[in-house]
Amino acid sequence: MKKLKRKEITLDTSDGGVRVKRNRWGIPMIRGNSSRDIAFALGWVHASDRQIQSQLMKVVLKGEAAEKLSGSKELIEADKYIRKANFFPDMEYQIAKLNPSVKEQLEAYAKGVNAYLAEHKPPFEFRLIGYKPQPWDITDSLRIGKVFGFAGLVELQAKMEKLILQMIQKGVSEERIRELFPGITEPIDYALLNKIKIEEPIIPDTVKWMLRLPVINASNNWAVSGRWTESGKPILCGDPHLEVARIPAIWQEIVMELPENTLKGVTIPGLPGLITGRNSYISWSPTYSVADTVDYRIEHCKDGKYQRGKEWIPFGVREETIKVKKAEPLNLTIYENEYGYLEGNPFEEGYYLVLSWAGGRDCGAGEFNCMIDISEAKTVEEAMEKLKLLDAATFNWVIADRDGNIGYQMSGRVFKRAEGVSGLIPIPAWDEQSQNNGFVSKDDLPSSYNPEEGFIVTANDNLNHLGIANPITLPMAPYRAERIKERIEEKIGREEKFDIEYMKSIQYDLYSKEAERFMEMIRPLLPDTEKGKILKEWDCRYDLDSMGATLFEAVYMALIKLVFGENGLGREIIDFLINETSLFIGFFYTFDSVLFKTESAWYNGTSREEWLSRAIEEGLRVDAVPYGSTRRLIMRHLLFGGKLPSWLGFDLGPFPLPGSRATVPQAQISSGKSKITAAGVSYRFITDMSTTELHTNLPGGPTDRRFSGLYKNDVSNWLKGKYKII
């Protein structure tokens, strides 16, 4: 490893100055006397190490990308999306709702960013494109904090609901729709739904620039009680799965030392406070909860108005001007009502959609009141109460404390829907059932404290049974949670104690419970050929040298395309969903659950075995090559990815990527015509509450500066399964 400069610097602050130096891994270590001073130093560090990342998010989330960066069509569309969505319609009101100490830290953070900007030239990457970094203020952090709760899976839920509508409009039968989406409880009014004009269809995917944001794909977290560990204290593990086909890594690791508390873990550049990590007393880790926080409503429109009973009410009108670099500005007219913005022109009579997000209004302050305050929590119970402050962030939190307790708490706002309304298909806005009924009580959301079995696991699976409310309508696949539980229960069954090394082996476990279930159906039908024997003997592990994994993937994808494509929506549409959108990445279990049935309307009167046999025949036509040769990950630079010669080193790779959509370390690569995206492990951490240590790795390094020795210094650890000790 290249020797790092670890010289300590001192920043002048209001409460006695802050010292900043780097540890042996280049991770900034901040030491100060007050939370306010620590926040100032963190702003300074983010401006130093991750200025490109944080400034890009600032520009994108203000809807100014086409003006500040490039007048490309892609960025114009991104600006339109952000302006329409209007994620923060009540910014000043939310600022007023911040706890005084929290507001003070947000302001100190902004001062720290600006202090660095005032004393240093812009990164040469910005100078190349003619961008001058903009001063930071509290509103920039608030935008990132709130949209972080929307980008990714909340947005993905909305896209999936729109896909259901498209399937209905394409004539997919009600029987087939209900098989794929059993959460639909209400009657499906085909006549009404076919009248809707869809302005922004799922096909093709939109707002590709949003991929530059820290989009949430999936995650694992788990905690084991001290009664099962060698140390006698809980062990907590977390590995958020996000976009990894990018450099720098989404997260920046940090250590922040106060006189009576030390914080360590990861931050999002642009935000003060830890997202995941630990303090001196507790540790915490989030996964996305998959709670349904979005509803589409149908508006009947004409003459710029929408219908309510016999009345026609004018839409609110918002005019936006999008400035475009080296081009004329564009004017955008947005029509809104109490539910959100209209996807269409209300002066053209027809039926259009409005998307409602539970975090859309009167929301934002709680994210920071929680994120800052949780750093001072000393027990699991205290942290669980603080996490209920979150509104936009619909996460599953697992917490452990040094007193020996473990807990789980779902956070976020969820609509309280009328009886019989699932939220999965659009609701007529003029119907009484569509009216807002407020939100589910946070006390009714799923939670657990010191469960009898002595461990807690979440992996975006269905946890409705742990609460009074049922906020999840489209759970992700249970396979990762099943495998983690299996590994934990195996060790408990042998009456063996857990340690850090065993938890590392779980985080890199490449066995697929999905493949196990499918192979039970496939194995008896395999031909007595060389490829058939390879697949028959496959151990369901996605190792890089596995030829069985390559053949299984070919058979599995052939099955999906045959049953749901050729026999349903059309192969070209299924190909698009898999390669050009993130829908299949997020909700492949929707399709799996049908294929596990012996009889289904999707089989079109043919036996499942016949479809399996056809898929085997098609899938085994591929070459039996090592799985790693089919899985090449390139980490592309956030600003210049794919635009500069590879020898300049802005992009990294290609690297072979082990794992699959269903292994504990989720690993999905989608290579379509418009983008390359990869859902993978964006950070691994493990902590034993008997120590003050974190064991970690991530796909990047501390800084986003290409010619720094800290640009990629943790990538090798991430690929090889090695952990730093912080």
pLDDT of 672: 57
> How many residues in the chain?
726
283, 222 contact by CB (below 8 A): no
Q: What is the mean pLDDT of residues 31-49?
A: 97
pLDDT category at 210 given cuts 50, 70, 90 is very low
Instruction: Indicate if the pLDDT at residue 117 is higher than 90.
Output: yes
Give the residue, 664 or 587, on which the prediction is more confident: 664
Residues 528-547 have pLDDT tens digits of 999 999 999 999 999 999 99
pLDDT of 200: 66
Q: What is the mean pLDDT of the chain?
A: 92
Tell me the three state secondary structure of residue 331.
strand
Cα distances (Å, whole numbers) of residue 553 to 244, 292, 541, 588: 21, 30, 12, 13
Domains defined for the chain, CATH in brackets: 514-629 (1.10.1400.10)
Rama region for 378: left / alpha / beta (φ>0; ψ in -120 to 50; rest): alpha
What is the C-alpha end-to-end distance of the chain, expressed in Å? 17
Tally: H helices and E strands in the chain = 22, 29
Tell me the three state secondary structure of residue 168.
helix
pLDDT of 148: 80
Q: What is the CA 684 to chain-centroid distance, rounded?
A: 15
Residue with tokens 């479809």: 611
627, 549 contact by CB (below 8 A): yes
Residues 6+ apart with CB under 8 A from 569: 167, 170, 172
DSSP-derived secondary structure for 388-433: TT-SS--EEEEEEETTS-EEEEE-S--B-PPTT--SSS-EETTSGG
Residues 315-342 have pLDDT tens digits of 999 999 999 999 999 999 999 999 999 9
- Which residues on neighbouring strands pair with residue 377, listed in sequence order? none
Q: What is the mean pLDDT of residues 32-49?
A: 97
CA pair distance 575, 573, nearest whole angstrom: 5
Q: What percent of the chain stands above pLDDT 70?
A: 96
* Residue 327 DSSP code: S
29, 41 contact by CB (below 8 A): no
CA pair distance 199, 218, nearest whole angstrom: 28
Instruction: Indicate if the pLDDT at residue 204 is higher than 60.
Output: no
pLDDT of 577: 82
pLDDT of 202: 53
Instruction: Indicate if the pLDDT at residue 209 is higher than 70.
Output: no
Instruction: Indicate if the pLDDT at residue 54 is higher than 70.
Output: yes
- H-type helices in 17-72, by residue range? 35-49, 51-61, 65-68
CA pair distance 647, 399, nearest whole angstrom: 44
Q: Which one, of 438, 433, 423, 426, lies nearest residue 473 by Cα?
A: 423
Tell me the three state secondary structure of residue 557.
helix
Omega into 654 within 30° of 0, i.e. cis?
Answer: yes
pLDDT of 104: 96
Q: What percent of the chain stands above pLDDT 90?
A: 82
The b-or-e profile of 494-517 (16+ CB within 10 A means b, else e) is: eeebbebebbbebbbbbbbbbbeb
pLDDT of 5: 53
Residues 606-654 have pLDDT tens digits of 999 999 999 999 999 999 999 999 999 999 998 898 888 989 999 999 9
Instruction: Indicate if the pLDDT at residue 2 is higher than 50.
Output: no
Cα distances (Å, whole numbers) of residue 267 to 46, 54, 251, 281, 283: 9, 12, 6, 19, 14
pLDDT of 569: 83
Residues 294-310 have pLDDT tens digits of 999 999 999 999 999 88
pLDDT of 99: 95
Q: What is the CA 78 to chain-centroid distance, rounded?
A: 19
Residues 409-456 have pLDDT tens digits of 999 999 999 988 999 999 999 987 777 789 999 999 999 999 999 999
Instruction: Indicate if the pLDDT at residue 287 is higher than 60.
Output: yes
pLDDT of 151: 73
CA pair distance 46, 356, nearest whole angstrom: 33
Amino acid identity for residue 430 in this structure? W
Q: Which one, of 66, 46, 76, lies nearest residue 131 by Cα?
A: 66
Instruction: Indicate if the pLDDT at residue 217 is higher than 70.
Output: no
Cα distances (Å, whole numbers) of residue 296 to 64, 189, 244, 334: 27, 15, 31, 17
Furthest CA-CA distance within the chain = 77
pLDDT of 546: 98
Tell me the three state secondary structure of residue 140.
helix
Residues 463-484 have pLDDT tens digits of 999 999 999 999 999 999 999 9
Tell me the three state secondary structure of residue 374.
helix
pLDDT of 671: 66
Residue with tokens 């859902």: 679
Q: What is the mean pLDDT of residues 387-400?
A: 95
Tell me the three state secondary structure of residue 56.
helix
- Encode 512-538 in three state secondary structure: CHHHHHHHHHHHHHCCCCHHHHHHHCC
Ranges 68-77, 215-224, 333-342, 513-522: which has the least confidence: 215-224
CA pair distance 445, 550, nearest whole angstrom: 41
pLDDT of 400: 98
Q: What is the mean pLDDT of residues 560-584?
A: 85
Q: Which one, of 207, 361, 206, 357, lies nearest residue 296 by Cα?
A: 357
Amino acid identity for residue 551 in this structure? L
Q: What is the CA 372 to chain-centroid distance, rounded?
A: 21
633, 678 contact by CB (below 8 A): yes
Give the CB-side neighbour count of residue 36, counting CA atoms within 13 A. Answer: 12
Tell me the three state secondary structure of residue 507.
helix
